[in-house]
Structure 1
Amino acid sequence: MFNLAKTAILMAVITALFIIVGGMIGGREGMLMALLIAVGMNFFSYWFSDAMVLKMTNARQVDEHSAPDFYAVVKELADKAGLPMPKVYLIDEDAPNAFATGRNPDNAAVAATTGILKILSRREFRGVMAHELAHIKHRDILISTIAATMAGAISALANFAMFFGGRDADGKPHNPIASILVALLAPLAASLIQMSISRAREFEADRGGAEISADPEALANALGKIHAYASSTPFYAVERHPETAQMMILNPLSGSGLAQLFSTHPPTAERVARLLAMAKQETNPRMG
C-alpha cells in the first residue's frame, strides 16, 4: 500500500509541477501546447511499445510446444493472478533478464532471455515471472506512459522558455534569469520524479509478484543471481537500444552513487531485503 500511495503522491506532484511551470512560462496557452506535444510523443509509444521493444530485443514468440516449461510457468501464474494468458517470448541472450510489456492485460506479453533460464531454478524463474505478471496486473505501462507524458510536457515548456523566454498570463515577459533557471531545473525535477515513480512500481511489482507466487524468497534469490551475473554478462540488445533497459526486471545499465537518483530501479540489495522480510513474516505470522 505504501508504494501505491507513493505513486499517487508523485503523480500529483509531477502534475502540479507541470501546472506551475506552465503558468510561469507560457500561461494557459503554453501549458496546453506543451501537453499536446507530450501526448503526441507518447501516444504512439503507448499503443505500439510492445511490438517495438520485442523487435528491439530480437524476441521470438514461443508456445507450449517450443518452450513447454517456460509456457507452463506463465500459464499457471496467470491463472492464479486472474489474468488472460499473455504472449510468451524468448530472447537469445546470455545476459539473465526478463520483462513484461503491453498496454493492458488483454494485450500483454512476457519475455525472458535464454540466459535467465540457464542460471535460475524453476522456483526462482517462477518468482521472476510472477513479478512480470504483477506489472501487467498493475497496468504499469499506462502509469509510466502518463508520467513520461507529464515529464515530456515539462521539458517542452522548458525548451520554449529557453528560446522565447517565459511570459505571464497577460503576455508580459518574466525575468530572463528566472526563466532560464526554470528551464534548467524543471526538466531535472520532472526526471527525478519520473524515475522515483518507476522505482516505486518496481517495489510494488516485487510485492505483487511475491503474492502471486506465494514465494517471496524465490524472487529474492532470483534477483540476487541476476544481479551477480548481469554485471559481467553484456545484454547486447539493450546496449544497442538503451531505452529498453527500464523495462527489464533489473536494469543492466544502472549506475551507482548519485546516478541512483536517476535509476529506473531500486538497489537490488534493498529489493532482496524487503522480499526476505516478507518471507520471514509469512513463515512466522503474528499470533492472534
Structure 2
Amino acid sequence: MNYLKTGMLLAAMTALFMGIGFMLGGSSGMMIALVVAAAMNIFSYWNSDKMVLRMHHAQEVDARTAPELYNMVAQLSRNADLPMPKVYIIDNPQPNAFATGRNPENAAVAATTGLLNLLSKEEVAGVMAHELAHIKNHDTLIMTITATIAGAISMLANFAMFFGSSDNRNNPLGFVGVILMMIVAPMAAAIVQMAISRTREYAADRMGAEICGEPIWLASALAKISGGVARIHNPDAEHNPATAHMFIINPLSGERMDNLFSTHPNTQNRIDELQKLAQSGLGSTGFRPAPDYATSQAPSTSGRGSVPPTGGSRPKGPWG
C-alpha cells in the first residue's frame, strides 16, 4: 500500500509538472527549466551523500574507532541482506540519525552523539535498522526523483513571467493565471514531496522493525528522540533545513500533527503502528545487541569517532 501511495504521489507531481508546461503554452520555458533542474539534481544525486555528511560535520568511524556501533550496523546489514554501509558519528547533542547515498552499494548511516548517549543499545539498534530500511527501500532515489520534479516545477513557475503572457490561449486566466501559477505550483509540489517523505517513513518503520526483530525497540527510541529534539537546538539542521526530511525525527521542530507541511508523520502515530506490529507477533526473533555498558568493560572514549560524554556522564553503550 505504501508503494502504491508513493507511485500515485509521484504520478500527481509529474502531472502537475506537465500541466504547468501546458498552461505556459510552449515548450521553450519548460525545456529550459527541466534541463537546468535536472542538471542540478543529477549533481545532487551523485554528490548528495558527501554534501549532507559535510553539512552536519559527520566523522566516519570503523571497527577500530567505534567497534560496538560499527559491529551493530554490520549485523543489522546482514539481517537486511544489504552491503555494509559507511558509518558516521555526528558530534551533536540532539538525538537523531539519518541515512544517505544513491543506492545500497554507496550508502551511509549517521547517528549523533546525542542519540548514542540517550538511547539504550536496543533502541539504537531499532534506529539503525530504520535507517537501513531506507537504504533497502531505495528511498534516497525516490526522494531525489521528487526533488528533481519539484525543482523543475519551481523553476517553471519562476519562468512563468517570461514565458507566460496574457494572450496565451492555453491559460484562460491570462496574466492572473500566471501569477496564481507562480504561487500555487511550488506550494503544491512541496506538499506532494512532503507527503511522499511521510509515506516512506512509515514504510521504513515497518521494515526496520522486521530487520531488528523488535518493533518496541524502535517505538521506545522514537519517543525518546522526539522529546530530545523538542528540547535541544540543532544549529547545523537550522542552517540546512532542506536536509530535515532525511532525519528519523524532524530536527527543526517538535511537529505534533500530520499536516500537509510536515516532513515527518506524527511521532505518536508511528509509535502506535509499531505497537500494533508487536501485538501481531513480530518480535523476539531478530538482532540481539551485546550486553549494555553497565555489564561490559568500557573501552577508551578517546580518539577519532569516539562519543564524548554529555553533561559529565558516560555514554549508555560502549560506542567508541
Aligned length: 283
For 1:269, give the aligned amino acid: Q
Higher helix share goes to which structure? 1
Aligned to 1:237: 236
> Shift of residue 4 of structure 1?
1.1
> Shift of residue 237 of structure 1?
2.0
> Shift of residue 139 of structure 1?
1.1
**1:87 is aligned to 2:77:** no
Does the CA contact (< 8 Å) of 1:254 and 1:263 recur in 2?
no
Aligned to 1:215: 214
**Distance (whole Å) between structure 1 residues aligned to residue 141 and residue 282 of structure 2:** 35
> Shift of residue 136 of structure 1?
0.6
**Distance (whole Å) between structure 2 residues aligned to residue 22 and residue 149 of structure 1:** 15
**Distance (whole Å) between structure 2 residues aligned to residue 56 and residue 250 of structure 1:** 18
Aligned to 2:141: 142
> Shift of residue 15 of structure 1?
0.3
Aligned to 2:298: none
Aligned to 1:132: 131
* Structure 1 unaligned residues grouped into runs of 5+: none
Does the CA contact (< 8 Å) of 2:56 and 2:90 recur in 1?
yes
Aligned to 2:61: 62
**Identity percentage of aligned residues:** 54
Aligned to 1:33: 32
Does the CA contact (< 8 Å) of 1:245 and 1:252 recur in 2?
yes
- Distance change in 2, residues 1:222/1:256 (3 Å): closer
**Distance (whole Å) between structure 2 residues aligned to residue 123 and residue 171 of structure 1:** 58
* Structure 2 unaligned residues grouped into runs of 5+: 284-320
> Shift of residue 171 of structure 1?
9.0
Aligned to 1:72: 71
> Shift of residue 241 of structure 1?
2.3
Does the CA contact (< 8 Å) of 2:13 and 2:189 recur in 1?
yes
- Distance change in 2, residues 1:255/1:187 (3 Å): farther
Aligned to 1:23: 22
For 1:56, give the aligned amino acid: M
- Distance change in 2, residues 1:96/1:125 (3 Å): same
Structure 1 residues 164-183: aligned runs within 5 Å: 164-166=163-165, 175-183=174-182
**Distance (whole Å) between structure 1 residues aligned to residue 236 and residue 264 of structure 2:** 19
Does the CA contact (< 8 Å) of 1:27 and 1:167 recur in 2?
no
- Distance change in 2, residues 1:172/1:219 (3 Å): closer
> Shift of residue 277 of structure 1?
0.8
- Distance change in 2, residues 1:166/1:157 (3 Å): farther
For 2:85, give the aligned amino acid: P
Aligned to 1:50: 49
**Distance (whole Å) between structure 2 residues aligned to residue 97 and residue 194 of structure 1:** 22
Give the secondary-structure state (helix, strand or coil) at the position aligned to 2:264.
coil
Q: TM-score, normalised by structure 2?
A: 0.83
Does the CA contact (< 8 Å) of 2:96 and 2:112 recur in 1?
yes
Give the secondary-structure state (helix, strand or coil) at the position aligned to 1:34.
helix
Does the CA contact (< 8 Å) of 2:214 and 2:282 recur in 1?
no
For 1:80, give the aligned amino acid: N
Does the CA contact (< 8 Å) of 1:126 and 1:213 recur in 2?
yes
Deviating beyond 3 angstroms after TM superposition, the runs of 4 or more aligned structure 1 residues are 166-174, 254-260
- Distance change in 2, residues 1:150/1:167 (3 Å): farther
**1:104 is aligned to 2:103:** yes
| Segment of structure 1 superposing worse, 42-51 or 155-164 | 155-164
1:228-285 deviations in whole A, cap 9, x for unaligned? Answer: 111111223212322222211111114647893222111111111111111111169x
Aligned to 2:306: none
Task: Give the aligned CA root-mean-square deviation in angstroms.
Answer: 2.2
**Distance (whole Å) between structure 1 residues aligned to residue 257 and residue 238 of structure 2:** 21
Does the CA contact (< 8 Å) of 1:128 and 1:219 recur in 2?
yes
| Segment of structure 1 superposing worse, 12-21 or 254-263 | 254-263
Aligned to 1:266: 265
1:133-178 deviations in whole A, cap 9, x for unaligned? Answer: 0111111111101101111111111111134425899899961112
- Distance change in 2, residues 1:154/1:13 (3 Å): same
Does the CA contact (< 8 Å) of 2:58 and 2:88 recur in 1?
yes
| Segment of structure 1 superposing worse, 48-57 or 30-39 | 30-39
Aligned to 2:317: none
- Distance change in 2, residues 1:127/1:146 (3 Å): same
Does the CA contact (< 8 Å) of 1:31 and 1:157 recur in 2?
yes
